[in-house]
Amino acid sequence: MSEDDLTATGPIVIVGAGPGIGASVARRFGRAGHAVGLVARNGDRLEQMAAGLRADVGVDVTTAVADATQPDQVRAAVRAVSERIGEPRVLCFSPIPDIDLIRPVLRTTPEELMASLQLTVGGAAAAVESVLPGMQAQGAGSLLFTTGSAALAPHPDRAASAVTTTAATVYVALLREALSDTPIRVGHTVIVGPIGRGESGAHDPDEIAADLWAHHRGDARDFPSVLRLEG
């Protein structure tokens, strides 16, 4: 099987899977023949998402519960998903940040910064660690990430998001550099503005999924790609 075949059809695991970006990514990849593994904290919501995907797309979907801030839980969840649908060929890491941690820098505690970093950077690293050896063994794979846009223009009123989004952006860029001579692709979509399905003045999650698909297929023109609202 060629590298392109492996990348095109292998399972995808979505860590931080929610009803917005996660569901849209699952549908986009599921329609292309990828089995789907969903990982998030809320088991009931995961099962509802999985049932909807099976009905809408007819895709093979499995779920595993994990808190993305806990590396051991992420590792266990990816193992569980892999046992059911096979070694992931695609990782999408797209958890929703805790907006309660976003406040002015002079009122942001060390604990709040660490909690935000634990999700955005620590969770990403745990997910990558869990899938990368399998991708390297098979000689194909894609590591896909979404972040907000705070790193583009850091603001003192939004300290945690500025610090952690900047850290995540650097982490993903370093991954891409380290893997540049391998068949494994690294994609990063930066989302400027709110997300809302069918809402005016917001990014539709399907738009974000399409951009991640372009990174996966090697069609994205920019790294990272920056999605801005029109008007």
Give this prediction's pTM: 0.94
Q: What is the pLDDT of residue 231?
A: 61
Q: What is the CATH number of the domain that holds 109?
A: 3.40.50.720
Q: Domain range spanning residue 110?
A: 3-227
Kindly report, residue by residue over 151-175, the tens digit of the pLDDT.
999 999 999 999 999 999 999 999 9
Helix (H) or strand (E) holding 227: strand 225-227
DSSP string computed for 4-47: HHHHHHS-EEEET--TTHHHHHHHHHHHTT--EEEEES-HHHHH
Question: For the chain, how many structural domains are there in total?
Answer: 1
pLDDT tens-digit map of 80-132: 999 999 999 999 999 988 888 889 999 999 999 999 999 999 999 999 999 99
Distance of CA 60 to the CA centre of its chain: 19
Rounded Cα distance, 203 and 147, in Å: 13
Q: Is 125 exposed, middle or buried, given 0-12, 13-18 or 19+ CB atoms closer than 10 A?
A: middle
| pLDDT of the residue at 160 | 94
